[in-house]
Amino acid sequence: MADRYPERWLMTDERMGTGLWRALRRLPPGSGVVFRHHATPAAERRALFVRVRRIARARRLVLVAADPPLPHARHGRVAGATTWPAHDRREALAGVRAGAAVLFVSPVFATRSHPGAAGLGAARAARIGRGLGVPVVALGGMSERRWRRVRALGFAGWAAIDAWV
């Protein structure tokens, strides 16, 4: 991935519970954290964000989040650039038009966070962002082992929840 953006990412959510702290400790320095916790009440979400931000700074992690008071933002910001979720080519193109610098394409594989939903498959997921001129991060059912298998398809990085807990 361009030196500017992390290769490894943690996607946070309420399901993690106290596993969030373990996951933040497991991330290698320079990794990214996408703070989501969309269902958490605003005041609690802001306090949680402040705590995560403190840990991220101490561990040299890149933290991406919408303004904590905006619990339903669809994108975040990293290093002054916008990140964007894409589940199909249309969403990827919309992200690029909106100025996204990084696309999170998902779900590459089936995930526990979306029970019963099929993954796109690595080749199809890679095609979603191919040729758009922005780094594409594989999300959904990812692990370090799966990352080694799919990175040759053109992904610039990978993101997960469960792989870090």
CA distance 129 to 148: 19
Helix axes 19-26, 42-59, angle to 10 degrees: 30
Q: Are strands 136-139 and 100-105 parallel, antiparallel or unpaired?
A: parallel
Distances (CA, A) of 60 to 27, 56, 77: 10, 6, 16
- pLDDT at residue number 76: 52
Per-residue pLDDT of the chain (165 residues; tens, 9 = 90+): 445 789 999 999 898 999 999 999 999 999 999 998 888 998 999 899 999 999 999 999 998 875 444 333 344 545 555 788 999 999 999 999 988 889 999 999 998 877 888 899 999 999 999 999 999 999 999 999 999 999 999 999 999 999 998
- pTM summary value: 0.87
Whole-number pLDDT of residue 73: 38
Task: For the beta carbon of residue 34, count every other beta carbon within 10 angstroms.
Answer: 24
pLDDT at 148: 96
